[in-house]
Chain A
Amino acid sequence: MPVSKLVGARVKRHEDPSLMRGLGVYVDDVKLPGILHVAILRSPHAHARIKNIDANAARQRAGIIAVFTGREIKDEIGTIPTTADNPTLRIPPHRVLAADKVCYVGEGVAVVAAEDRYAARDALDLIQVDYEPLPVVTDPEKSLTPNSPVIHSEWPDNLAFSWQQEQGDIAGAFKQADRIVKQRLVHQRLAPIAMEPRGVLARYLADSKDLTVWSSTQIPHLLKTHLAQMLNLPENHLRVIAPEVGGGFGSKLNVYAEEALLGYLALKLNRPVKWIEERQENIRATIHGRGQVGEVEAAVKKDGTILGLRYKVVADIGAYHQLFTPAIPPFTGLMLSGCYKIPAIAIAVKAAFTNKMSTDAYRGAGRPEATYVIERLMDCVARELRLDPVKLRQKNFPKSTEFPFKTATGLAYDSGNYQSALAKALELAGYGKLRREQERLRGRGRYLGVGVSTYVEICAMGPGFWEYGKVEVEPGGKVNVYSGASPHGQGQKTSFAQIVADQLGVELDDISVIHGDTALVAKGIGTFGSRATAVGGIAVYQAAEKVKEQARELASHFFEVDPDDLVFSDGKFNVKGVPRKGLTIRQIAHQAHGATNLPGNLPRELAADATFEPANFTFPFGTHICVVEVDPQSGRIEIKKYIAVDDCGKVINPLLVDGQLQGGIAQGLGQALFEEIVYDENGQLLTGSLMDYAVPRAADMPRLKLARTETPTPVNPLGIKGIGEAGTIGSTPAMVNAVADALAPFGVTHVDMPLTPQKVWRLCRRAPGAGARR
Chain B
Amino acid sequence: MIPASFDYIAPKSLAEVIRALADHGEDAKLIAGGQSLLPLMKLRLVNPGLLIDIGKISGLNGITQQDDKMVIGALATHYQIETSALLKTRCPLLCQTARAIGDVQVRNRGTIGGSLVHGDPAADLPAAVLALGGKLRINGPSGERFHDAEEFFLGPMTTAIKANEVLTEIHVPAAARRSGCAYLKAPQQASGFAVLGVAVALQTDSKGRCEDIGIGVTGLGEKPFRARAVEERLRGNKLSAKLIEASTALVSEGVDPLEDLNAAADYRAHLARIYAARAVQAAAKRLPGRAR
Contact = CB atoms under 8 A, between A and B. Distances in A.
Nearest to B184: A634
A742 B189 CA distance: 21
A167 interface: no
B118 to A, nearest CB: 14
A703 to B, nearest CB: 20
Contact of B189 (A117, A686, A694): A694
A279 B190 CA distance: 14
Nearest to B2: A121
B274 A634 contact: yes
Contact of A691 (B191, B267, B275): B191
A320 B1 CA distance: 27
Contacts of B228: none
B4 A692 contact: no
A678 B261 contact: yes
A756 interface: yes
Contacts of B189: 673-674, 694, 756
B1 A634 contact: no
B186 interface: yes
B271 A634 contact: yes
B270 interface: yes
Nearest to B1: A278
A191 to B, nearest CB: 11
A280 B261 contact: no
Interface residues of A, number: 28
B105 interface: no
B190 A694 contact: yes
B186 A634 contact: yes
B263 interface: yes
A758 interface: yes
Contacts of B44: 125
B46 interface: no
A756 B271 CA distance: 14
Interface in A274-295: 278-280
B15 interface: no
A725 to B, nearest CB: 24
Contacts of A694: 188-190
B157 interface: no
A118 B1 contact: no
B186 A636 contact: yes
A118 B190 contact: no
B1 A280 contact: yes
A692 B261 contact: yes
Contacts of B271: 634
A690 interface: yes
Nearest to A686: B261
B176 interface: no
Contacts of A709: none
A634 B2 CA distance: 39
A549 to B, nearest CB: 55
B5 A761 contact: no
B85 interface: no
Interface in B254-275: 261-264, 267, 270-271, 274-275
Nearest to A758: B267
Contacts of B4: 122
A633 interface: yes
Interface string B215-255: 00000000000000000000000000000000000000000
Nearest to A674: B189
Contacts, number: 46
Contacts of A690: 190
Contacts of B262: 756, 758
A247 B186 CA distance: 31
A673 B190 CA distance: 12
Interface in B22-70: 39, 44
Interface string B174-188: 000000000000101
Given A692-B261, A757-B186, A279 B1 contact: yes
A51 B1 CA distance: 28
Given A280-B1, A686-B261, A693 B190 contact: yes
Contacts of A117: 2
A653 to B, nearest CB: 31
A695 B44 CA distance: 25
B5 to A, nearest CB: 7
Contacts of A635: 267
A758 B266 CA distance: 10
Given A678-B261, A758-B264, A758-B267, A691 B190 contact: yes
Interface in B182-226: 186, 188-191
Nearest to A116: B2
Interface in A720-774: 756-758, 761-762
B274 A633 contact: yes
A687 interface: yes
Greatest chain B CB density within 10 A among A280, A635, A636 is at A635
B2 A687 contact: no
A691 B261 CA distance: 12
Contacts of B5: 118, 122
Nearest to B39: A691
Interface string A213-245: 000000000000000000000000000000000
A761 B190 contact: no
Contacts of B264: 758
A692 B191 contact: yes
B186 to A, nearest CB: 6
Nearest to A281: B1
B186 A118 contact: no
A118 B2 contact: yes
B115 to A, nearest CB: 16
B64 to A, nearest CB: 33
A692 B190 contact: yes
A758 B274 contact: no
Contacts of B275: 634
A636, A691, A758, A761: most-surrounded residue (chain B CB, <10 A): A758
A758 B268 CA distance: 9
B2 to A, nearest CB: 4
A758 B263 contact: yes
Nearest to B267: A758
Contacts of A692: 190-191, 261
A252 B270 CA distance: 43
Contacts of B261: 678, 686-687, 692
Contacts of A122: 4-5
Contacts of B191: 691-692
B22 to A, nearest CB: 30
B143 to A, nearest CB: 38
Contacts of A762: 267
Interface in A609-660: 633-636
A435 to B, nearest CB: 29
A345 B271 CA distance: 45
A636 B278 CA distance: 14
A584 to B, nearest CB: 51
28 contacts: A118-B5, A121-B2, A122-B5, A278-B1, A280-B1, A633-B274, A634-B186, A634-B274, A635-B267, A636-B186, A673-B189, A674-B189, A674-B190, A687-B261, A690-B190, A691-B191, A692-B190, A692-B261, A693-B190, A694-B190, A756-B189, A758-B262, A758-B263, A758-B264, A758-B267, A761-B267, A761-B270, A762-B267
Interface of B: 1-2, 4-5, 39, 44, 186, 188-191, 261-264, 267, 270-271, 274-275
3 closest A-B pairs by CB: A694-B190, A694-B189, A121-B2
Given A634-B186, A634-B275, 6 more contacts: A122-B5, A278-B1, A279-B1, A686-B261, A694-B188, A694-B189
